[in-house]
A and B are shown apart, each in its own frame.
Chain A
Amino acid sequence: MSSIAGQKSALTWAVHISVVLLVGLWVFPTLGLFVSSFRTADQIGSSGWWRAMFPTEQNLTLRTAAPDTQVQIDGLYVIEGNLFGTEGNKSTAISAWGTSSRDISAYQPDEQAALRKGGQITVQADGSYRLESDAEISGKRGPRVFVTAVVPPEFTLKNYETILISGGATDNMAKAFFNTLTVTIPATIIPILIAAFAAYALAWMEFPGRALLIAAIVGLLVVPLQLALIPLLKVHNEIGIGKGYLGAWMAHTGFGLPLAIYLLRNYMVGIPRDIIENARVDGATDFQIFTRIVLPLSFPALASFAIFQFLWTWNDLLVALVFLIDSTGETTVMTKQIVEMLGTRGGNWEILATSAFVSISVPLIVFFAMQKYLVRGLLAGSVK
C-alpha cells in the first residue's frame, strides 16, 4: 500500500488520523473514570470530567466564621474573614452570590445584603466578607452564603483515602481488595502445576486414547461455566466445604484447566524432539525430563497462562457470587462490592469511579508489564 507512488503522503496522513481517532475512542471512557477518581463530588456533579483541566463555574454553599469569633468595632458586632478559609483562594473569582437558597445569585460582588436574622453582609469577588450587626450575632454556626464562582481545576486524593483507609463499611474496599488477592493467587498457581503434568503426558508420552483426550479437552474449552453452578454448589455442600475460599479456589482451578492444558500442550509439542530423545538415551526418566527440561523450556507458555488465569480470577464475578460469598459478606470481593455500590450509590461517582479504578489498576499493571506473554498466549490459545 505504502509503495504506490503519489498517493503515499495523503494516505499515510489518513491512516495516522484514523488511528488517533480509534485510539481516542478506546481510551476516552477509561480516562473518564481515571480523571473522575481525582475529583470531588461537587466537581464531578457540576462539570463533565473532560473539562477538569479548565476552570469551571460552580455553585457552592459556604459559611461565614462562627459567631464566637465576632469582635466589637465602634459599637458594631463584626465578623470578617474569607469564605474560602483563612488563606483565601487567589484564583477563585465570585461572579454572584446570595443569602437565600431560593435566589443564590441575587447580588454582585461588593454589594451589601441584609441578612434575614439581622445585620448586613458584603462579599468581595475574592471571597472575603464583612458581616456587621447592631445586635450581638447569635447561633452556633455562621450564616450560609451561596456563591457562584469560577473555580480553578483542582485534583484530590481524598477519594482514594476514603476507599482505601477511612471509608465506612460499604465504601471501604481494603478488605475486598485483600479478599480478591486471597482468591486470586492460589487459583492462579495451583492449576498451572496440575495442567503442566497433564500437558506433558499429552504431548510427549505414548498411550492409547491420547487423541481422544485431547479432543475432549478442546471440547471442554467452550463448555459454559453456567452449567457447573448448581451441580457444584450441591457437591460443595455435600462434602462440607460450603461457600468459602476453598470452594472458590477449587472451582477456579477446574474451570481454568482446559485452557491451561491446551496452551501448555501446544507449546510443549513444539519443543524439539532431539532434546527429549537425547535425554531419554542418557537415561533420564520421564519425571526428570519433565522437571529438568520441559518445565524450564515452557516458561513463556506458563507465564501466558498465569496472566490469563490471574486476569480471569481477579475480574471474576460469577464464581465469587456462587461459590465464595456467603450471607455474612465477610468474603466479598471487589467486583461484587462495586456491583452493590452501583445499586446503592448510583449517583456517587467519586466513590464509584475510585473503587472501580482501584479494582482495575492491578490488572492494568499486570497487563502493561507482561503484555508480551499475553499476546503470545492469545495467539497460541485461540483454537485454530
Chain B
Amino acid sequence: MHPALQGILTIAFGVGGCVGYFYISNIILDHLIFPARGKHIARNIRRANIIRPWLFLLPAMLALGLYLAYPVVETLRLSLTERLPGGGSAFVGLDNYQQMLGEDKFWEALKNNFLWLLVVPAGSTAFGLLAAQLTDRIAWGNVAKSLIFMPMAISFVGAAVIWKLVYDARPPGAEQIGVLNAIYVYFGGSEAQQWLTIPFWNSIFLMIVLIWIQTGFAMVILSAALRGVPEETIEAAIVDGANPFQIFFRIKMPQIMGTIVVVWTTITIVVLKVFDIVFAMTNGQWETQVLANYMFDKLFRANDWGVGSASAMVIMLLVSPILIWNVRNARREMR
C-alpha cells in the first residue's frame, strides 16, 4: 500500500478511533451500565461520574505507561542482564556497569557531557538575556527577535550542515569557503584549520551549534519575564540615581531569577539528550563523544544492549534531580 494512503488511513483510523472510543464509551456508561433513570437514578449518575474521568484518561495513560514508564523499568532490567546467544538473557548484576566504567570512551563521553552542561545552558541563557534586554528597547525589536528565534525551527541535522559549512577548511593556497577559516586566514592564520578535529576545541565548536539553536528559546521566555518586572521598582531605582547596568543587574536580574533557573534547567535537559548534532558532525570521533551518542553506538553498532542500557540509565540518573525538582514545584503550585 502506498505510504501516503497508509498515512491518510492512519489519520482517519486514529482520529476516528479516538472520537469513537470516547463517544461510545460515554454512551455505554450513561445508558447501559448506569442509566440516568429508574429508581437508582441519583446513585447511577454519581457512579457514572466516578468512572468517567478514567474513561477520558485511559488512552493517554496506556500510551504514557507503555512508551515512557515501562521503558524506564525495562531499561533498568536490561542494564542488569546480558543477552545470551540464541535468545534469552541472564542476570549479571552490575557487570555491565563495571564494563562501562572500564571504557575510556565512556569517561570521555561523561567528561564531555559535563562540559556541555556547563557551557551550553550558560551560553544560551546569557545570550538570551542579552537579546531579550536589548530587543525590548527598540522599535524593530520584534523583527530582531524573530530572526534570533528562527534557529529553533531548524533541525539539529540542518544546523549540523549549516555549521559544517561555517567550519569548512580548504587546503592551503585555495580560497577558504568556510567563514571561520576565511577570518582565521585573513587575520594572519598560517593555514586553514580542521576545526572539528582539534580535541577539546571541537567540542566547543559543537556546543556553539546548540547555543545558537537554544538562545532564541531563552530569549523568548526571559523577555516575557523582563516585561513582567514592575515599573515602579525601576522608576524608584532611576530616581535614586542608578545607572542602566545597575538597574539591570541589581533590580531586574534578582526579580527574574526564578525564570532564569527554569530556562537553565530546560536547556540542561536538552543538553543531556543531545545526540543529532554530535552524530551528524563528528560521530564522537576526535574526542567529542557524548553520552547519548555513546549509548547509540553501544545499542546499534556494537549491539550490546546491556552496556547501552547501562549508559541510558546514567542519562536518566543525571536527569532525575531536575525531574524531582520539577515534580516538587508542580505539586507545591497545585496546593
Contact = CB atoms under 8 A, between A and B. Distances in A.
Interface in B1-57: 3-4, 6-7, 10-11, 14-15, 18-19, 22-23, 26, 30, 49-50, 52-54, 56-57
B64 A257 contact: yes
B156 A317 contact: yes
A201 B56 contact: yes
A382 B266 contact: yes
Given A205-B52, A331-B3, 6 more contacts: A3-B238, A33-B165, A214-B334, A250-B63, A339-B157, A359-B158
Interface string B146-190: 111111111111101111111010000001111100100000000
B263 interface: yes
A380 to B, nearest CB: 11
Interface string A132-174: 0000000000000000000000000000000000000000000
A285 to B, nearest CB: 7
Interface of A: 1-4, 7, 11-12, 15-16, 18-19, 22-23, 26-30, 32-33, 36, 44-50, 178-179, 181-182, 185-186, 189-190, 193-195, 197-198, 200-202, 205-207, 210-211, 213-215, 217-232, 234-235, 245-246, 249-251, 253-255, 257-258, 261, 285-287, 290, 311, 314-318, 321-322, 331, 335, 338-339, 342, 349, 352-353, 356, 359-360, 363-364, 366-368, 371, 374-375, 378-379, 382-384
A198 B57 contact: yes
Contacts of A217: 64
A48 B67 contact: no
Contacts of B326: 218-219, 221-222, 383
Contacts of B70: 231
A12 B137 CA distance: 8
Nearest to B69: A220
24 contacts: A19-B131, A22-B134, A33-B161, A47-B175, A182-B4, A182-B6, A205-B56, A222-B319, A223-B323, A224-B312, A227-B71, A230-B305, A232-B71, A254-B64, A255-B68, A342-B280, A349-B165, A359-B158, A360-B158, A363-B154, A367-B153, A368-B150, A378-B220, A383-B262
Q: Which of A49, A194, A197 has the most CB of B within 10 A?
A: A194
Contacts of B56: 197-198, 200-201, 205, 286, 290
A227 B315 contact: yes
Contacts of A232: 66-67, 71
B68 A254 contact: yes
A28 B64 CA distance: 41
Contacts of B315: 224, 226-227
B46 to A, nearest CB: 12
Nearest to B137: A15
Contacts of A384: 258-259, 262, 329, 333
B177 A249 contact: no
Given A207-B53, A211-B334, A226-B312, A382 B263 contact: yes
A201 B153 CA distance: 32
Given A201-B56, A367-B153, A383-B266, A224 B64 contact: no
Interface stretch (B101-109, B116-124, B199-207, B267-275): B267-275
Interface of B: 3-4, 6-7, 10-11, 14-15, 18-19, 22-23, 26, 30, 49-50, 52-54, 56-57, 59-61, 63-64, 66-72, 74-75, 78, 127, 130-131, 134-135, 137-138, 141, 144, 146-158, 160-166, 168, 175-179, 182, 212, 215, 217, 220-221, 224, 238, 243-244, 247-248, 258-259, 262-263, 265-266, 269, 272-273, 275-276, 279-281, 292, 295-296, 299-300, 305, 308-309, 312-313, 315-316, 319, 322-323, 326-327, 329-331, 333-334
A217 B326 CA distance: 10
List of 8 A-B pairs having minimum Cβ-Cβ separation, nearest first: A254-B67, A315-B155, A198-B60, A367-B153, A231-B74, A201-B56, A356-B161, A228-B71
A360 B64 contact: no
A19 B154 contact: no
A210 B265 CA distance: 26
Contacts, number: 341
Nearest to B309: A230
B72 A223 contact: yes
Contact of B279 (A178, A210, A339): A339
A117 to B, nearest CB: 31
B191 to A, nearest CB: 16
B298 to A, nearest CB: 10
Contact of B14 (A186, A201, A367): A186
Contacts of A287: 22-23, 26
A44 B168 CA distance: 12
Contacts of B312: 224, 226-227, 229-230
Given A230-B299, A257-B60, A182 B156 contact: no
B316 A227 contact: yes
